[in-house]
Structure 1
Amino acid sequence: MEKSKVLVVGGTGYIGKRIVKASLSQGHQTYVLKRPEIGLDIDKLQLLLSFKKQGAHLVEASFSDFRSLVDAVKLVDVVICTMSGVHFRSHNLLLQLKLVEAIKEAGNIKRFLPSEFGMDPALMGHALEPGRVTFDEKMEVRKAIENAEIPFTYVSANCFAGYFAGNLSQMGTLTPPREKIHLYGDGNTKVVYVDEDDVATYTIKAIDDPRTLNKTIYIRPPENILSQRELVEKWENLVGKKLEKSSISGHDFLESMKGMDYAHQVGVGHFYHIFYEGCLTNFEVGEDEEASKLYPEVEYTRMDDYLKIYV
């Protein structure tokens, strides 16, 4: 089967740049949206030019110019959006509604993958304020996609290792503690940690797979379903020492929100659902919906290997 042509929207972002790389490496004709609003952001421009060197096509289009979006969409078969949904960087999820309109107008897209890649928003109807805004907006985009009868795949990639594993799941840092560690409750709630490059690999594998059409795909590699304690133990084995551990109750953790800025309040809410409620692992995933079962040929990164770079 001929490989689909792919347009990546948000290709200079944290997960987007990996999606571009995976699309190229898996042999897809890859187009990357280049927004004129890039202005004097030299880092983003040079990243786009590096994609061009690797064989990607740069397509100039803007969310403020609907016709340019439609024209960009008409060049490809699959659109993957990776716009940021985290509040401490940039939060643009509802801009995707314009992209949905462009895809509907173009009428040629075989698959749309909106910007999700975290918790499944369909399971987060109970989420705490203010963090629930992320899930509500993702569900608004989903509703628009489905109302427009656009074929889709939703990707739930759980916890990006760069944000959740490298720091042993500590808030406010990206590197692992060497002396003391805070555990959420008893630290035994199961979480799913995934290397971001693996997220991209699985995502691209899914785009032409009839098994993933109009489904949510969960990236839940079995050896990466770990409790925070198990993650810390892997780190302790690597550095050859035990960390001093203290436990934070769910009540005290939520109380810590008071006085925080908006972005940090969002983060606390999300951490609470993951590490106290176990929202990533408290439901069953069917074999035809779990990426590592669909694509057993992918040699995904285990977290003890992932942590070695931090030693």
Structure 2
Amino acid sequence: MSKSKVLIVGGTGYIGNRIVKESLAQGHPTYILMRRELGYEIEKVQMLLSFKSKGAHLVEGSFSDHQSLVDAVKLVDIVICTISGVQYRSHNILLQLKLVDAIIEAGNVKRFLPSEFGMDYSRLEHVLEYGKETFIDKMVIRKAIEDAKIPYTYISSNCVAAYFAGNLSQLGTLMPPKDRVKIYGDGNRKVVYIDEDDVATYTIKTVDDARTLNKTLYLRPHKNILSHNELVEKWEKLSNKTLEKVHISDKDFLASIKDVEYNFQAVLARIYLIYYEGRLMNFEIGEEGEEASEIYPEVQYTQMDEYLQRYL
């Protein structure tokens, strides 16, 4: 059986470039939307040329040119979008509505994977006001997809390890602390950490898999479901060093959110939902989803003991 043709939008991004590599590695004819607005972004241009040398097809297009999106979509079977949602006030994530329109007009797409790659926003009925726009915007995208009856798969990858594990979930740094570590609440809420490369591997696994059609794929590898305390303990064991623990109460954490700039408030709000409310593991997956490590047991995912070794 031939592999589906895959178009990746946002292929030079942090998750996107890994998905490009994995699509090529798993043998899919791989197309990357190359924005006309790249200009002098030399690192992205060189990355795209590197992908081209490995067999990827570069397709020029722009969110400001509907026909270019339609033309790009017509080349493939699968569309994966990985554009960033960090620009909360600009509603960057809503650009995908233009992609939805292009997919509707093209009429040939077998599956669309929109830019999710984090918490499952459909499980967050009651959230903090801070950064709520991103939650709302992603649900707007889902509604547009489902209203148009576009086949889909949503990827819920929970906590990407470079942002949450390597730094032991400390704010303002991507490296582990040297002397003391802040623990959110009692540190016992369960959190899911996952290597970025594994996010890409599982994502590409879904594209020709009927089991994940019109479902959410939850990345919950069993050995990477850890509390904040357990993550810190793993680092202490690896580094042979005991850190001073400073517990931050939920009241103090919430108070701190009010004193930072808007964009950072949204980051803190996610920390609160994950570490204080335990929103990653407070529900059963059910029939509307699948768990990645269960349906793809052949994937040797990176456990956090191994992941943290790179920081020694």
* Structure 2 counterpart of 1:304, one-letter code: D
| TM-score when normalising by structure 1 | 0.98
Counterparts of 2:174 and 2:258, CA distance in 1: 23
The Cα of 1:237 is off from its aligned counterpart by 0.6
- Residue in 2 aligned with 1:136? 136
* Structure 2 counterpart of 1:203, one-letter code: T
Counterparts of 1:90 and 1:192, CA distance in 2: 29
CA contact (8 A) 1:151 1:214 kept: yes
- Residue in 1 aligned with 2:307? 306
Name the SS for the 2:257 alignment partner. Answer: coil
The Cα of 1:89 is off from its aligned counterpart by 12
Name the SS for the 2:272 alignment partner. Answer: helix
Deviations 1:31-71 (A, max 9, x none): 00001100110011001001001110000001111000000
1:76-91 to structure 2, matched below 5 A, reads: 76-87=76-87
The Cα of 1:90 is off from its aligned counterpart by 8.3
1:77-116 to structure 2, matched below 5 A, reads: 77-87=77-87, 92-116=92-116
Deviations 1:85-136 (A, max 9, x none): 1248986200000000000000000000000010001011211112221111
Name the SS for the 1:289 alignment partner. Answer: strand
CA contact (8 A) 1:84 1:90 kept: no
- Residue in 2 aligned with 1:290? 291
The Cα of 1:286 is off from its aligned counterpart by 4.3
Counterparts of 1:89 and 1:161, CA distance in 2: 26
Deviations 1:4-43 (A, max 9, x none): 0000000000100000000000000000000110011001
- Residue in 1 aligned with 2:264? 264
Are residues 89 and 137 of structure 1, via their aligned partners in 2, closer, same or farther at CA, if it must alter by over 3 Å? closer
- Residue in 1 aligned with 2:193? 193
CA contact (8 A) 2:88 2:131 kept: no
Counterparts of 2:30 and 2:305, CA distance in 1: 33
Instruction: Note the aligned Cα RMSD (angstroms).
Output: 1.3
Counterparts of 2:44 and 2:26, CA distance in 1: 23
1:26-41 to structure 2, matched below 5 A, reads: 26-41=26-41
% identical aligned pairs: 67
Deviates more, 1:300-309 or 1:251-260: 251-260
Counterparts of 2:57 and 2:190, CA distance in 1: 41
CA contact (8 A) 1:190 1:281 kept: yes
- Residue in 1 aligned with 2:121? 121
Counterparts of 1:196 and 1:92, CA distance in 2: 22
CA contact (8 A) 2:88 2:134 kept: no
In structure 2, list runs of 5 or more residues that go unmatched. Answer: none
Are residues 235 and 91 of structure 1, via their aligned partners in 2, closer, same or farther at CA, if it must alter by over 3 Å? farther
CA contact (8 A) 1:188 1:227 kept: yes
In structure 1, list runs of 5 or more residues that go unmatched. Answer: none
Deviations 1:156-200 (A, max 9, x none): 000000100010011111000011000001111100000000000
- Residue in 1 aligned with 2:157? 157
